[in-house]
Structure 1
Amino acid sequence: MSTQLQERLQHIARNLKQARNQKGWSQQDLAAHSGISRRMIAAIEGAQNNVSLGTLDLLANALGVRFMDLITTRSTIDFSPQHPWQGVVVWHNTHPDSHAEMLASPPMPCTTELWHWSLAPGDHYQAAPDRTGVQEILYVIQGEIELEHNGQRIPLKQGDTLTFPSDVPYAYHNPSEGTARIIKHVVLPLLEPEV
């Protein structure tokens, strides 16, 4: 496991445990609220498991915190709605030109996320489905990508924009010989208040 990945997993582990403790929940409580197994939660909190973005989103939703609060690299976290933060690289592949950085997300209740994605030539990213109601808006700022969605491959070139529901499996592919860069705006449904 790379040092960069291990450091990222340690930040996520610390943040998840802190958010769970602030809620007064055990790992079993979080499992019941999120639908993620207690074993998986224990592995994430032990920095032993490379967690998917979809799993992190489910955990953040259950805890009533922003996705960004779980991935931030700050040593202390304030989970209040006014918490300021900086963009963070959340995903990267073996090629240094393939990575995703979360750029912005408003305070709770979080309704949007702004991302910058970069894919090396021939690289791809396979996404798990987001929760029901999530939409993505893609804008290609460099190169070209193919969006694989519902059995279709949709080619997008520089300057193209596309909106699609992301609550099904989907993937980004870079079929070209140059690096592709996209801005991704994720539109999230409002979180339901706890009863």
Structure 2
Amino acid sequence: MNKKVNIPTVTGADASVVNEALSTAVRQYRSQRKMSLDELSRQAGVSKGMLVEIEACRANPSIALLCRLASAMGVSVADIVNVASSPSVYVISADDIPCLWHGEHGGSARLLAGTSGPDMVELWEWKMHPNEIFETGGHSYGTSELLHVVKGSLQLTVGEESFIIGEGCSAVARTDVPHSYACADEGALVFTMTVSEQGR
């Protein structure tokens, strides 16, 4: 029914901002801990070659890779892309909300806001079109996602089980196993998602 569309994270102006932020975060993390690329590679489950590309600001990592690196560094993805909350109110302008995934038919995933990690909560807005799918591995143990379909129908697959969530409906899913989101019908899909992940 659907093709796998888990393409690199971002393109265009968003890409350079996210890539530079990730490059800085990884370099600072390794420098502060006097950590080798090999050690971070083992901790994060990311190849040494990819880490070299990230630090040189030449990579365009996927959301899954961002999540693995954030978890290994004890921060949230929101910390890395600068949409994490502070102790008081932190307002994020529309222009500063990063798009971290683009589907091949115009879909997008925007990280609207998040708390600082490693125990973090993130708020996402997803837009998908027919034949778009996002597949990812499991998040850290105990991670939960709350999803609400604003428009269309969402096909949510968690592990071996698949569910259709209709317009106006919500779902709670434990996503510490491989999972995917896909547009379930012929119209556009819009859903919001809150991710709650506990640090390791």
For Structure 1 versus Structure 2, the TM-score category normalised by the shorter chain is 0.7 to 0.9
Contact 2:164 2:184 in 1 (8 A): no
* 1:65-110 deviation line (CA, Å, top 9, x unaligned): 221232349xxxxx996595743111112222x1101111123453
Find out whether 1:55 has 2:65 as its counterpart: yes
Q: Distance in 2 between matches of 1:40 and 1:3?
A: 20
Contact 1:113 1:185 in 2 (8 A): yes
Q: Which residue of 2 aligns with 1:128?
A: 137
For residue 151 of structure 2, the aligned residue among 142, 145, 148 is: 142
Q: Which residue of 1 aligns with 2:31?
A: 21
Residues 1:13 and 1:108: Cα distance change in structure 2 (over 3 Å): closer
RMSD across aligned positions (CA): 2.8
Q: Which residue of 1 aligns with 2:165?
A: 156
Tell me the TM-score normalized by structure 1. 0.79
Aligned length: 185
Matched residue SS, 1:31: helix
Q: Which residue of 2 aligns with 1:170?
A: 179
Tell me the TM-score normalized by structure 2. 0.78
For residue 47 of structure 2, the aligned residue among 20, 28, 37 is: 37
Any stretches of 5+ residues in structure 1 without a counterpart? Answer: 74-78
Find out whether 1:102 has 2:126 as its counterpart: no
Q: Quick check: 163-172 or 84-93, which moved more?
A: 84-93
Q: Distance in 2 between matches of 1:90 and 1:53?
A: 7
Matched residue SS, 2:57: coil
Q: Distance in 2 between matches of 1:144 and 1:156?
A: 6
* 1:106-131 deviation line (CA, Å, top 9, x unaligned): 23453211111110123111122212
Any stretches of 5+ residues in structure 2 without a counterpart? Answer: 1-7
Give, as a single letter, the amino acid of the residue that structure 1 aligns with 2:76.
R
Give, as a single letter, the amino acid of the residue that structure 1 aligns with 2:52.
A
Residues 1:66 and 1:149: Cα distance change in structure 2 (over 3 Å): closer
